Structure 1
Amino acid sequence: MCKERIPYNMKNNNITTIPLIVVMFLLLSASCSKEKQETVEVVFDPENTYTMRTLDVSTLVSDSGMTRYRATAKEWLMFSKAAEPYWYFPEGLYLERFDSLFNAEATVKADTAYYYQKKELWKLINNVEIQNMKGEFFETSLLYWDGKEDKIYSDKFIRIVQKDQVLTGIGFESNQNMTKYIVYESTGVFPINETPKDSIPPEE
């Protein structure tokens, strides 16, 4: 029986092809093993990383089924994972309180504001201006509004414009409606037409 002969050149090609494939595989494996891998570590800081961000906020708040408040802010950041969860208004906050006819009867404005949810505590900073339901005007650089204690207070310079006079002092305490208050360390009582031009420095 005659055996089929494999041509020499074909036999030689088979012999050289197998090592070539092996070398290519080894080179490819080596190049892959040396490939530079980059990893990015993301560090989550709950105290300084917000969980929600809202822009151009204008929201109505109801009380006992009645719309009583409106809050307006350019930016609202929520830090709900912080040890003490809080809201932050870095570009200011403006609040209005409405009467039963939806007329603004009191307003609150500040350059910066924080709200600590568990404590129910507002912290208003820089150019804080409040007008109460009696038409009196309050101006200070720092103000705290404690919802649990039903009081508003500050230990900074306070200027209160009443109908016929202006009161100034260092520190004050008031009820939530700003209708009953005490001014500490009084620095003066002036007739309305002799209002001192006191400058209230920004809170650092």
Structure 2
Amino acid sequence: MTSVSRRRAGRPPGESRTRERILGAARSLFAEQGFDRTSLRGVAAAAGVDVALVSHYFGSKQRLFAEAAALPVDPAEVVPRVLAGPREEIGRRLIEQVLDILDAPESRQRVVALIRAAASEEGAAQVVRERLAREMLEPVAAALGSSDAPLRAALTNAQIVGLVMSRHILGVEATVAAGREQLAAALAPALQHFLTGPLDRR
């Protein structure tokens, strides 16, 4: 096959750029406004395209959201990094991974959009439950030999979601003003406890 026919067989470059522009606009709006207040028409306006083009590429708002706000990391890659090191420092390694994600604008938009939408959109809630808790945090807790892996993962997940809510959605002044090192130092012991510490069974 010639290079010319290969180019014709694939997606035209302009089409790919348009699709990415729509996704970028969608990520921003879902993160800023949430799922319910974001419309395909609003995404189209922000991307500078006709709303019919948004429907052409993504079909529905649910499908657009699923792609725009997909978890920005692969749990299969994160879990080994969190587990690679001393057991007593796993809380620190986990919060560092979380802060790495939240420090990058595009991945932060995805996470914020997911957390903001999870309260009203079941698809978003399912991603948070399955991808973050079950596929990333439960394997970490299980690898540490815990018989309470689902509970430990749920408690750890609550801390992470709470950080995103407080700092990036509610804009609580103290958490917004806190630097990365301060946040890591404050949250690492809590994550460490939920992953490895004793849980009161009373």
**By percentage of residues, which structure has more strand?**
1
Task: Considering Cα pairs closer than 8 Å and 6+ residues apart, tell me whether 1 or 2 has the greater RCO.
Answer: 2
Q: Which has the larger radius of gyration?
A: 1
Q: Is TM-score (shorter-chain normalized) higher than 0.5?
A: no
**Higher helix proportion:** 2
